[in-house]
Each structure stands twice: as structure tokens, then as C-alpha cells.
A and B are shown apart, each in its own frame.
Chain A
Amino acid sequence: MKKALLLICLLSAPARAELDLHQYFLLEGESRTLVSSPLNPNNTIGLFPDQMARVESRSDLRANAGNFSLLLHPRARGERDRINQLSSSQASLFLQEGYLQWSILENLDLKVGRVQFGWGPAESITPTNWFAPLIQLEPSPRYEQLGIYRAQASWSVGQGFNWIVAQEIGAPRDSWNSKFDTVADTYRERLLTKAEWNWDRSNKIIGVVAGGLQETGGFGLRGGAYGSWNLNDAWQLYADTVFQKRKLESQWLALATAGFRYTFENGAEIRAEGIFNERGYSHGKQKAALELLAANPSLITRAYLLAARENLSGQEYGYLAFRWTNPGFFPSFFQTPSVSFRALHSFTDDSQVVLAYLEGGFLDRFNASLYGGLFNGRDRTELHLLSDNLLGFSLSYSL
């Protein structure tokens, strides 16, 4: 059915098409210290690499023909990892995004395929986006989130209103071991409708979201809202909250974030956000759960470790970020240089992870980044394991 629909769309498109291609290559390398812990003794469960080297070809292709657009982001990756002193290599070909878009009317679009679409004012997490809410703690600045297969309709009224309905339509077929590194990226029959208003020249934004997804025990409902308010050029306040109810639960539990952004006269900005996860474990419950799992290692899988990292097992977090683009202290040959820091603190278990980045372009075709991470906390905490004593670099070249 999907192939037939795609064929009809392609055949009914005018013969003349506009093509736009951006091709670039990426070289990345990382090393990190892996700490042996009760949940991941000698890295036998997690099998995380302590050294990684990767080359990747990225193509961003858009073809427009009349009211139809085809967007494809294929990626070809070769990677060599060292895991527990053993080196291994792997190669993979996958689609980061790929969809067909039909502009039915000037303000009404339909997208079908693998789509990555995000919103929300907060930087750390977007609770109202249960397609992809994840905290952006992936170290590499070139990390790309993979799209999710969905059908999505978008209707806009001028600049000030937008309504989206999205339904997940299929499971990803990639090997999750190499690219899908979280169990969150499995087929969940996600359904979402979102309405967003902005006014006062986009200084005020509010959105409401409703829908749900398949969870343990059945289809869980979700509903929430987000908003941001620019007080002036310097200050912005924002919040994003969702209430979740699983099929087998009797109550609605909140996942919320609220924060502010302050921008200095020179363009540097700081953000501070608080995150509350009502479903997460309190300190006492987390301690008990971890001790139970550590006592029975057969219960622990790599999937669990990764899910724990992504799903915020604790309850309260603080997030702090600083970013400065075009600071004056960079050498003049750097183009659009920037320096940034991100830190996440878990109040539940008193652990922190800090990531730092230096980025810049040169010779109009190169982008280079140097990044590092440090973790601090009790060794039974798995949440930030991949960021301890991390040092990485990436270099991209655009044709």
C-alpha cells in the first residue's frame, strides 16, 4: 500500500524537478574511561567501546517537483571500535531521514516516511514530544537523531498557528546494535496531535499536545503543553510539561521541565533548566532497584543500561548550558567559532555529567570540533557512563 502510494505520487508529479544536494564527509574519534560498576562489571554487559574511530558519508538530497518534495538523508558509515581490548570493525548503510512530502494546499502538507521533527523551547528534554523527547547528551556535536517512520499532516494559519497530527506507521529495520542505540527507538504506535500558537511577533508561544503510545500493558495516554515568553532581548522563560497515564496505572504522572535563557550583549547565552520526572525513582527506590539488579546480573541487559540512560531513571535534575558563538578570542581564520558547555546534575543520586565543546569552520568547507566529557558520582550510577573522561574530535568536509 505504501509503495503504491509512493508510486502514484511520483507518477503524478511534473517531469521537471529541482534538485538540491549537499554532500559531506565526517571523520570522528573518541576515547573514554569505562568504569567497572556493579551493573556493568568490567564492561561485560554494556560492551561500550573505550575507543572509537568512524568515517561517514552524509548526503542531504531534496528533489522538488510541483507540489511534491522528496527528501533523503542516506548515511554510509564505517566504524572501528575497541571493546574490552578487542578491536572490531563494522560498516552500515542507513537512512537518517527519508520522506515524501505533498503540499496539498499552500498551508497544508502531508509527509510520509522516516521523519525527524522536533519542537519545544527547552534544550535538555522535550516532554511533549514522545516521538523523540531524549536528553541531548550525546557527546559528539555531529550526532544526528534518527527519524521515526510516520505519516504527518501539518496545517498552518498564517505565521501564528500550526496544527500537526502524526502517527507512527512502522518499525525501524536497522540493526539497533550499531545505530539504534536505545530501546526507545522501537515501534510504539505513537500518535500525537499538536496545536501551537504564537503572537506578539513570536515573543509568546504556547502549544498543546495530546495522544499516546504503546507501553507495557497497553496503550498509554499522554497530554501536555509547552510555552515560552520573551520578556525582552535578554530574557526568555519557558516550560514544557506532559502528563502520562499507562494502561495499568490509575494516576497521571508528570514529566516536566522549566527554565530560562539569558543572552548577554555580546551574544553569549546561558540556560538553566529543572527537570522533574514523577515516574522516576527517588533516591531510596533507585538504590533498592540497583542493588536488586546487581545481585542478579542475568536481569541486566545492555538494553536496560541504555534505556536507563535515556529514560531518566531519577526524579529531579538540573541542567545548565552556556554557549558563545563568534567569541573574539578565536584566531581569525576560524569561521563561526563557538564554545559551549552542558551539564546535567541528578539530585536523586548526586551525580553530574559535564560536556564541553569547541567548534569552528575553516577554508569554507571544513568544520572541526573538539569535545570532552567528565562524569562525577557514585559508581552505581549508570546514567552517564559513556561520558566519563571522554575526549573526542570530529572533522567534516563539504563538497
Chain B
Amino acid sequence: MKAISIATRIFLTLALVASQVAFSAASQAAVNPEEILRKADRARGGVSDGLSWGIQMQNSGSSTLIKYEVKVKGNNVLARCQEPARQKGEVFLFNDRNLWVFRPGLKKPVSLSPRQRLTGQAANGDIATTNYARDYTPKLEGEEDVDGQPTYRLFLQAKESNVTYDKIRYWITKKDFLGVKAEFLTLEGAVFKTAQFSYKNSIPVNGKEMPFVSEMKIQDATKKDDTTTIEYAKPKAEKVSDSEFNVNNLVR
């Protein structure tokens, strides 16, 4: 009786463990990281025809607010500076990661390398729309809570070398598929900056209001008080012509 009881206990334990493993594997298989990432991109500008919005940037320790009127389409951005007064009239054009700057009085637009940033901690790609699903291969690392919200934790590996960040760790809420936190990693895998996102805006998509990014707070991983805050205002889905992003049309 005692021997059968032990064998039964062992069998039941093994069966229980096996069922847990099988259940976990089935759950994982049901979660498609590419689909999660694609849904998260929509809330950060992954709209095909184009978007316009206002951007306000501020670096820590500075009282200066930098404001742009922005048109975006895919990885192209046209940003016209409205404030501060001394920079008014400057126009920035991003063709993917290549940056052109035009200032009134300059003979021609000046081409800058992707290594030259707009300002502070923000990379040039941070004011553009996000298309992580196109540019990165995601892997589901796990699940955890961020500020009380259950999220998927994805690890994103750049598909090509010419994207803004090579590796990203990205937390996306399970309920609304909104990216709420990101860690940007060096080639060696060390975190060099982090970002947190808020979604207080909304835009109509297919007749339904969809949450849209309202703020991105970027922080240097080593100098915690070195931050840049980007606020996105009045996002509007609109048809933007590709020719708006042709450098020869920069002054129109």
C-alpha cells in the first residue's frame, strides 16, 4: 500500500510538472512577438499615409523649450522649428537616419551624419514614427509588471545596421499593446539610456479612437539627472505626400 502510494505520488507529481510545462509552451506559442510589436507601433506613429503633430522638447537643467511642427511618414520626418525665437525658421529633414538642416540665409541645405543629434538625449529617430516591427526581430523574454500593468517584455535585435538603436528591450502592455518602457542597449548589451512613454493622446483609426503617444522621457543610464522629455501634441493622421521629404523641396 505504501509502495503504491509512493509510486502514485511520484506519477502524479511528474504528471503535474509535465502539464505545467505543456501549458506554458502552449501559452508561449499563442503569443506572437511580431504581432505584439506591430500593434505597439500603431500607438507611436505606425500609420501608413502620414501624420502631423507638434513636438516640444526640453533637456534637464535647461529652461528652453524647443518646439517643432512635424510631418512624418514612415521613417521620414520634416520638422520646422517654431521656438525658441533664435531658431525659428530652421527646417530639419530626416530621410530615415540621414539629416538635412536648412536655416534661412544658408546657401543650401546641409547634410549631417546620423551621429549628430538634434538635441540632448533624444536621437533623431525619437521624433520620427516608430516602426520596430519592420526594423527589429523580436523575441519574447518574459512577462512582468510595469507600474502595476502586466506587460510583455520583448528583446529587439536590429535587422540591419542602419537603424537608430542596435538592441532594445521593450515592455508592451498586455491589455492595450502600448509600449510603456524601453531600454536601449549598446552592441555589447549594456544599457546606455532608458525611456518611458505615456499615451494621453488619441487618433481615429478606422472610425475608432486609438491611444497615441503623448510623452517620451529619455534618461541617460549612467547620469540619471540627464534627461530629455519629448511631448507630442495634436497628432493628426493625414495624407502626406512623399515629395514633402525631398530635400530639393525643403523650402516651400
Bound pair (A, B): yes
Q: Would A121 and B107 be within 8 Å (CB), given that A162-B249, A202-B95 are in contact?
A: no
Q: How far is the CB of A230 from chain B (nearest CB, A)?
A: 7
User: B108 contacts which chain A residues (CB < 8 A)?
Assistant: 117-120, 126
Q: Is A249 an interface residue (CB 8 A)?
A: no
User: A236 contacts which chain B residues (CB < 8 A)?
Assistant: 111, 113
Report whether A118 and B111 are in contact in the complex, using a CB–CB cutoff of 8 Å.
Answer: no
Main DSSP-derived SS at the B contact region:
loop
The residue that A162 contacts in the complex, of B106, B114, B246, with Cβ under 8 A, is: B246
Encode contact with B along A253-280: 1 for CB under 8 Å, 0 otherwise. Answer: 0000000010111110100000000000
Q: Would A263 and B86 be within 8 Å (CB), given that A101-B252, A201-B95 are in contact?
A: no
**B14-22, B30-38, B170-178, B237-245: which lies at the interface:** B237-245
Instruction: Bin the interface of chain B by size.
Output: 35 or more
Q: Is A215 an interface residue (CB 8 A)?
A: no
Encode contact with B along A156-200: 1 for CB under 8 Å, 0 otherwise. Answer: 111111101000000000000000000000000000000010100
Q: Kindly report which residue of chain A lies nearest to residue B61, judged by CB atoms.
A: A332
Q: Is A88 an interface residue (CB 8 A)?
A: no
Number of A-B contacts (CB under 8 A): 135
Report whether A119 and B248 are in contact in the complex, using a CB–CB cutoff of 8 Å.
Answer: yes
Report whether A136 and B104 are in contact in the complex, using a CB–CB cutoff of 8 Å.
Answer: no
Report whether A154 and B249 are in contact in the complex, using a CB–CB cutoff of 8 Å.
Answer: yes
Q: How far is the CB of A109 from chain B (nearest CB, A)?
A: 7
User: A60 contacts which chain B residues (CB < 8 A)?
Assistant: 89, 104
User: B85 contacts which chain A residues (CB < 8 A)?
Assistant: 22, 24, 364-365, 398-399
Question: In the bound complex, how far is the Cα of B95 from the Cα of A160, in angstroms?
Answer: 10
Question: In the bound complex, how far is the Cα of B76 from the Cα of A201, in angstroms?
Answer: 9
Name the interface residues of B213-252: CB closer than 8 Å to any CB of A. Answer: 241-243, 245-249, 251-252
Question: In the bound complex, how far is the Cα of B116 from the Cα of A119, in angstroms?
Answer: 20
Q: Would A364 and B98 be within 8 Å (CB), given that A196-B248, A325-B116 are in contact?
A: no
Q: Is B48 an interface residue (CB 8 A)?
A: no
Q: Is B202 an interface residue (CB 8 A)?
A: no
Report whether B248 and A267 are in contact in the complex, using a CB–CB cutoff of 8 Å.
Answer: no
Question: In the bound complex, how far is the Cα of B251 from the Cα of A116, in angstroms?
Answer: 10
Question: In the bound complex, how far is the Cα of B62 from the Cα of A333, in angstroms?
Answer: 8
**Which 9 residue pairs spanning A and B have beta carbons closest together?**
A118-B108, A202-B95, A364-B84, A263-B113, A156-B243, A201-B96, A398-B85, A158-B242, A162-B248
Q: Can you report 22 residue pairs joining A to B where beta carbons are below 8 Å apart?
A: A24-B86, A60-B89, A116-B107, A119-B108, A132-B107, A145-B107, A154-B248, A156-B246, A161-B246, A162-B248, A201-B96, A201-B97, A228-B111, A230-B98, A232-B161, A263-B112, A269-B112, A269-B116, A364-B85, A364-B86, A365-B85, A396-B86
